[in-house]
Amino acid sequence: MLNEKVAELLNTQVNKEFYSAYLYLAFSNYFSEEGLNGFANWYRIQAQEERDHAMLFVQYLQNNDAKVTYEAIEKPAFKADSHMDILKAGLDHERYVTGLVNNIYGTAYEGKDFRTMQFLDWFVKEQGEEETNANELIKKMELFGSDPKSLYLLDQELAARTYSAPSLTL
């Protein structure tokens, strides 16, 4: 049996991960409209990963005989006055998600729910990587974003990103 409070937070996290996917799909649309198909590809793949995260939480809950409830997914909210706004909104969002994961971890720790702590270890590491990736994208845009030729090359680089399934299996 999972700790009741932990199970509730994990169920909320399912919704948060689906929201992340939704947000990144909206980012992808923004870049498609701007003609930056590499950036659009990068965020489309990011959205795929977020759906995977949601499903990992679902699977974990189901494996532990906990009820899964799908709530309404919020409309993506972000400011899009420039390309950089989107990238920064991405980093802010990942920091927010890191806080959510840490909060579940803390609650599992308090409840001596060692199984959930072990499950969440992968997400703690993953959030570190997500923040690094979001930061690197901002740095590249700062360096190269104002020069059209460099932006073209950066877009080409991001077009090469391919999807790979998460390394965590349950």
- DSSP class of residue 35? T
Q: How many CA atoms lie within 13 A of 16 on its CB side?
A: 17
In whole angstroms, give the CA distance from residue 48 to residue 7.
Answer: 24
Q: Is 134 helix (H, G, I), strand (E, B) or coil?
A: helix
Rank residues 110 and 129 by Cβ distance to Mg ion and give the closer one.
Answer: 129
From 10-18, 29-37, 114-122, 150-158, give the range in contact with Mg ion by CB under 5 A: 10-18
Distance of CA 99 to the CA centre of its chain: 12
Contact yes or no for 131/94 (Cβ under 8 A) = yes
Least separation in angstroms between CB 76 and Mg ion: 15
From 46-54, 73-81, 84-92, 135-143, give the range in contact with Mg ion by CB under 5 A: 46-54
From 33-41, 43-51, 70-78, 131-139, give the range in contact with Mg ion by CB under 5 A: 43-51
Rank residues 91 and 144 by Cβ distance to Mg ion and give the closer one.
Answer: 91
Kindly list the distances between the CA atom of residue 102 and the CA atoms of 124, 158, 167, in Å, as whole numbers in the listed order: 7, 29, 20
Least separation in angstroms between CB 24 and Mg ion: 9
Least separation in angstroms between CB 95 and Mg ion: 12
Least separation in angstroms between CB 160 and Mg ion: 22
End-to-end CA, the chain? 17
From 51-59, 75-83, 114-122, 160-168, give the range in contact with Mg ion by CB under 5 A: 51-59
User: Judged by CB under 5 A, does residue 53 bind Mg ion?
Assistant: yes
Rank residues 38 and 90 by Cβ distance to Mg ion and give the closer one.
Answer: 90
Residue that the structure tokens 């700062």 belong to: 142
Q: Which residues contribute to the site for Mg ion (CB under 5 A)?
A: 17, 50, 53
